[in-house]
Amino acid sequence: MAQEAAARELTLAEEQAFQLSRCAIAIDQARENRVNDSSQMVTALNENLEVWVAIRTMAMQKNSGFSDEIKENLTKLSKFVAEKTFDSAEGLSDQTIDTLINVNLQISEGLLEGAGA
């Protein structure tokens, strides 16, 4: 039975949820190390932006299964993440970093709930 679960491929929504969670962890770890290694934060934010671009692309597909409201919300969140990523050259506050992490975790949870429905 464990082999069946391991062999099962993730749906696109599950994969995006996993990537959002992974990025949230990477951003949190980068925050802890940013005094010693600022490049870690840049890498984490860039990877996060790539995931959000993929989510936006997925959501905008006609067969995405998302309602217009969800599509609009994901698009807005994607733009927010992009804006904050591009602002990162000026340095991000802990509050902004917390917001990025929480957005990722909440959307990850929502994607998993939607995939399970």
Do the domain assignments include residue 60?
Answer: yes
Interval 18-75: pLDDT, tens: 999 999 999 999 999 887 888 999 999 999 999 999 999 988 888 878 889 988 999 9
> Looking at residue 64, which CATH number applies to its domain?
1.20.120
Buried b (16+ CB within 10 A) or exposed e, 52-65: beebbebbeeeeee
Number of folded domains that form the chain: 1
Domain hosting residue 82, numbered range: 13-116
Do the domain assignments include residue 8?
Answer: no
Do the domain assignments include residue 93?
Answer: yes
Q: What's the whole-number mean pLDDT along residues 82-91?
A: 82
Do the domain assignments include residue 40?
Answer: yes
Do the domain assignments include residue 45?
Answer: yes
Nearest to 116 by CA among 5, 7, 11: 11
Q: What's the whole-number mean pLDDT along residues 100-111?
A: 94
Instruction: Give the CA dihedral 57, 86, 88, 39, nearest 10 degrees.
Output: 70
Do the domain assignments include residue 89?
Answer: yes
